[in-house]
Amino acid sequence: MRYSVKARLAENSPGKYYVDDYCNGCGLCLSLAGKFFDYVEGGKYYYIQRQPLNADEDDIMQEAVELCTMNAIHTDGDQTFFDIWNYS
């Protein structure tokens, strides 16, 4: 089911990067940055299975953000899961 407002997928690893429900399962992100992405059974959609841990990994993830065919990969900027937790 497609929502009118993009929704952050529940399977994403906590952190600043996430995939939303506009993902079409094309698999490009896995080809570009395989260690950060995984998919649900059948490959219907993909999600962030691990967040980048350093600047080099961040660069790889940024490329996936820019090349995602559905503009479905996003970032909350420098905010981390722990920042969100502390401010909520």
Does position 40 interact with ligand SF4 (CB under 6 A)? The reply is no
Given 6, 8, 27, 75, the residue binding ligand SF4 (CB under 6 A): 27
Q: How far is the CB of 73 from ligand SF4 (least distance, A)?
A: 5
Q: Say whether residue 60 binds ligand SF4 (CB under 6 A).
A: no
Q: Does 19 bind ligand SF4 (CB under 6 A)?
A: yes
CB 73 within 8 A of CB 29: yes
Q: Which amino acid is at 70?
A: M
Residue 12's φ and ψ, nearest 5 degrees, are -60, 140
The reply to whether 28 sits near ligand SF4 by the rule CB under 6 A is yes
The residue among 40, 3, 42, 43 whose CA lies nearest residue 21 is 3
Instruction: By CB under 6 A, name the one of 26, 38, 49, 62 that touches ligand SF4.
Output: 26
Measure the CA angle with vertex 75, ends 14 and 28; round to 5°. 95
Instruction: Report the interface residues with ligand SF4, using CB under 6 A.
Output: 19, 23-29, 46, 68-70, 72-73
